[in-house]
Chains A and B, each alone.
Chain A
Amino acid sequence: MKPLIQRYSDSDRINHWIVAIAFVLAGLSGLAMFHPAFFSLTGLFGGGAWTRTLHPYIGIVMFTAFVSMAKRFWKHNVMVPVDYEWLKLLPDVLTNREDRLPKIGKYNAGQKLLFWMLVVALPTLFVTGLIFWRAWFAEYFPIPVIRLAALLHAVAAATLITGILVHIYAAIWIKWTVGAMIRGSVTHKWAKAHHPLWYREVTGQPATPPGQE
């Protein structure tokens, strides 16, 4: 049995899960205040007033942890030409015909686009959230600005939640991916199949033997 390949360091994983837990809590409390259908979620946080009180602080934890995470993963998520080819072959991606795809590095174009969506959404949520945070800052902003902030906050949040639903599903769909973020390591097969260029980079071995390129 080959040794596993390290994909995420301990601190990468802890960082990711702080963001993830804060996301779940901020998401549930935010949805509770967004649509009456979700208002009963306030029960999870000790009622409506507690939900309103806690939500912004959870958001700050999420944003701060995300800044640290974005710094860690930034350079691996820069789009390269092969990513656009990969995106064109999305039907093959979605039907598990991974053999038809171009070789990619540590992240595929879908993961990268999710990353950049987060890079836009999180700061938007942070800044707009501060503007209509009644306990601290809302009184310093004119009402039209508060209205715009609330609208943008909702748009950014809905985009973020939708994107993260895709992220969570992808982790369930591509087996052993959750394990990579929980224990930090992946198997050789996993790395070769899903991230061949990254596999070559970390092991020095080609993902495909000569002659089969």
Chain B
Amino acid sequence: MSSLQSLDIKRRSATTLPSTQARETLEVAKLIDVSKCIGCKACQVACSEWNDIRGDIGTNVGVYDNPADLGPKTWTVMRYSEVEEKKGEEMAFEWLIRKDGCMHCAEPGCLKACPSPGAILQYSNGIVDFIEENCIGCGYCVAGCPFNVPRISKQDSKAYKCTLCSDRVAVGLEPACVKTCPTGAITFGSKEDMIDHAAERVVDLKERGYANAGLYNPAGVGGTHVMYVLKHADKPEIYHGLPKDPQISATVGLWKGVMKPLAMLAMGLTALTGFFHYVKVGPNDAEAHPDEPEDGNGPHVIRSSGPGQMEGKGNVNPGEQA
């Protein structure tokens, strides 16, 4: 859904020239404090309500995760992990709950991979948005994303993910999940404020014995506009596989970086070389060969004449005939 003005588009998929630069807006962020989350799933419901999408009814897979995964109609899910971690000196059982969804990377892998102009936008406030009317359904965004977030609908072959409620943010409201969270685990504001707020929370958590508490704002993707406060920031993987050092895969970098100019150059140069070869050397025409009688009974002298015989134009450089 494109609800911000074109002035606010910072980056556009499959577009080689820069987007509008004149206006700079405040960079926003959503901060999810995992230590305050009680796993009530109110954010899932709010997301479903505001965006008016209902995930298909699935089956119970034996854990609290419900639905079991993100989907074209499920843009956020709570992920539950049972772990044993050190608290102070002893090991303690912990139930880690993480609200999963699009991280709104500053360097979005989906946008880099997308081949359709304007199907993925990054606004100057940091939100990364899919514009479904421009989506061609190739699924390259799925390959590009370091967080495994985009989902392609089987119904309409379009890609879907969290919009960070770009429509609400555009009119000065917080995202629906933030509005609804009963414990204040999700907060929303300028990215700067959210980083400050996270710092306070980290101090608090460290005082309570979580020596490795910290902010998850991974530099490998230029930072994100959805950030986590984690009690175990040294081991983000234990939060249902949150990547420790996410970045756009080197394979995607080769495919969408090096390969594009290289292939264009190879194809362009080959075509041009062919044309100029023809201009310089000319055709190789066996039929223009003057020295074989039509009846075919005469001497065969194909090898007897000098270079340029194939041209049949008589414009042979005498020096080459020796």
Q: Which residues of A come within 8 Å of B, CB atoms?
A: 1-2, 32-37, 39, 42, 47-49, 51-53, 94-99, 132, 134-135, 138, 143-144, 146-148, 150-151, 154-155, 157-158, 161-162, 165-166, 168-169, 172-176, 187-190, 192-194, 206-209, 212
Check A96–B311 contact: CB distance below 8 A: yes
- What residues of chain A lie closer than 8 Å to B277, measured between beta carbons? 94, 169, 173
Count how many chain B residues have C-beta atoms less than 8 Å from C-beta atoms of the other chain. Answer: 59
Say whether B262 faces chain A, with CB atoms less than 8 Å apart. yes
For the complex of A and B, the 3 pairs showing the least CB-CB separation, nearest first, are: A169-B274, A158-B263, A48-B136
CA A33 – CA B117 in complex, angstroms?
A: 10
CA A166 – CA B137 in complex, angstroms?
A: 33
- What residues of chain A lie closer than 8 Å to B249, measured between beta carbons? 144, 147
Check B286–A190 contact: CB distance below 8 A: yes
Looking at B186-194, B212-220, B296-304, the stretch in contact with chain A turns out to be: B296-304
Check A97–B143 contact: CB distance below 8 A: no
Query: Please, what's the 1-or-0 string for B293-322, where 1 marks a CB less than 8 Å from any CB in chain A?
Result: 010100111111101111100000000000
Given A96-B308, A158-B259, A173-B278, A35 contacting B264 (CB threshold 8 A): yes
Query: Please, what's the 1-or-0 string for B225-267, where 1 marks a CB less than 8 Å from any CB in chain A?
Result: 0000000000000000000000001011011000110111011
- What residues of chain B lie closer than 8 Å to A188, measured between beta carbons? 296
Instruction: Using A33-B138, A96-B281, A172-B274 as known contacts, list a sample of 17 further A-B pairs with CB atoms less than 8 Å apart, ordered by residue number in A.
Output: A42-B136, A47-B136, A49-B137, A53-B157, A99-B302, A135-B157, A143-B142, A147-B255, A151-B255, A162-B267, A166-B274, A173-B284, A189-B286, A192-B302, A193-B310, A208-B303, A209-B299
Name the CB-closest residue of A to B13: A36
Name the CB-closest residue of A to B12: A36
Q: What's the least CB distance linking A128 to chain B, in Å?
A: 11
Check B143–A175 contact: CB distance below 8 A: no
CA A155 – CA B139 in complex, angstroms?
A: 19
Q: What's the least CB distance linking B303 to chain A, in Å?
A: 5
CA A212 – CA B295 in complex, angstroms?
A: 20
Q: Which residues of B come within 8 Å of A, CB atoms?
A: 14-16, 115-117, 134-140, 142-143, 148, 152, 157, 249, 251-252, 254-255, 259-260, 262-264, 266-267, 270-271, 274, 277-278, 281-289, 292, 294, 296, 299-305, 307-311
Q: What's the least CB distance linking B129 to chain A, in Å?
A: 18
- What residues of chain A lie closer than 8 Å to B117, measured between beta carbons? 36, 39
Tell me which of A35, A42, A47, A96 contacts B307 (CB under 8 A).
A96
Instruction: Offer 5 A-B interface pairs, CB within 8 angstroms, sorted by A.
Output: A36-B14, A96-B311, A134-B138, A158-B267, A173-B284
Given A48-B116, A52-B137, A95-B307, A1 contacting B274 (CB threshold 8 A): no
Q: What's the least CB distance linking A136 to chain B, in Å?
A: 11
- What residues of chain B lie closer than 8 Å to A158, measured between beta carbons? 259, 262-263, 266-267
CA A71 – CA B190 in complex, angstroms?
A: 64
Tell me which of A36, A37, A49, A187 contacts B136 (CB under 8 A).
A49
Name the CB-closest residue of A to B294: A1
Check B287–A187 contact: CB distance below 8 A: yes
Residue in B140, B148, B302 with the greatest tally of chain A CB atoms within 10 Å: B302
- What residues of chain A lie closer than 8 Å to B143, measured between beta carbons? 132, 143, 146-147, 150
Check A94–B136 contact: CB distance below 8 A: no
Name the CB-closest residue of B to A176: B287
Name the CB-closest residue of B to A157: B263
Given A36-B15, A147-B252, A189-B287, A209 contacting B307 (CB threshold 8 A): no
Q: What's the least CB distance linking A16 to chain B, in Å?
A: 20
CA A171 – CA B244 in complex, angstroms?
A: 55
Check B310–A134 contact: CB distance below 8 A: no
- What residues of chain A lie closer than 8 Å to B252, measured between beta carbons? 147, 150-151
Check B16–A165 contact: CB distance below 8 A: no
Check A134–B152 contact: CB distance below 8 A: yes
Check A95–B281 contact: CB distance below 8 A: yes
CA A42 – CA B136 in complex, angstroms?
A: 10
Residue in B16, B255, B281, B296 with the greatest tally of chain A CB atoms within 10 Å: B255
- What residues of chain A lie closer than 8 Å to B296, measured between beta carbons? 2, 188
- What residues of chain A lie closer than 8 Å to B288, measured between beta carbons? 175
- What residues of chain A lie closer than 8 Å to B271, measured between beta carbons? 165, 169
CA A174 – CA B254 in complex, angstroms?
A: 37
